[in-house]
Amino acid sequence: MNPFINSMAILAVAACAAFSAPAAASHPKVDLASCAKPVYPADARAAQHDGTVKLAFLVGADGKLADSKVESSSGHPALDDAAHQALKLCKFRPASAKGKPVESWARVAYVWKL
């Protein structure tokens, strides 16, 4: 049996509201269907590490991921790094203000569980 199937990495959109662009009429969105399932890092699996990584991410006006940072670590750098890599594979819709796309921050949580 594939060991990657027996564990889960769940992408949870946690309060996906913009938090540094108060003028935004809408918030940036993650297209969850576009996100590839993250790969549980082998070293973290072997050590039986799990936890939740909370990331803040900046979506540019062009809809591309411009930046991301860990707001709350899982306590395991390999899981935090894997969450960053997984987020890079998603597609985004930018926030808008007055009908025009704008750059804006949002949050997401990756829950790693064996």
Q: Does domain 9-36+46-113 have CATH number 3.40.50.2300?
A: no
Residue 89 tokens read as: 């594979």
Alpha carbons 79 and 101: distance in angstroms, whole number: 32
Domain residues of the chain, as ranges? 9-36+46-113
Q: What is the pLDDT of residues 48-84, one digit of tens each?
A: 999 999 999 999 999 999 999 999 999 999 999 999 9
Q: What is the pLDDT of residues 78-108, one digit of tens each?
A: 999 999 999 999 999 999 999 899 999 999 9
Q: Which residue has the higher pLDDT, 11 or 88?
A: 88
Three-state SS letters, 23-69: CCCCCCEEEHHHCCCCCCCHHHHHCCCCEEEEEEEEECCCCCEEEEE
Mean pLDDT of 13-39: 64
CB atoms within 10 A of CB 94: 22
Mean pLDDT of 18-47: 76
Mean pLDDT of 104-114: 92
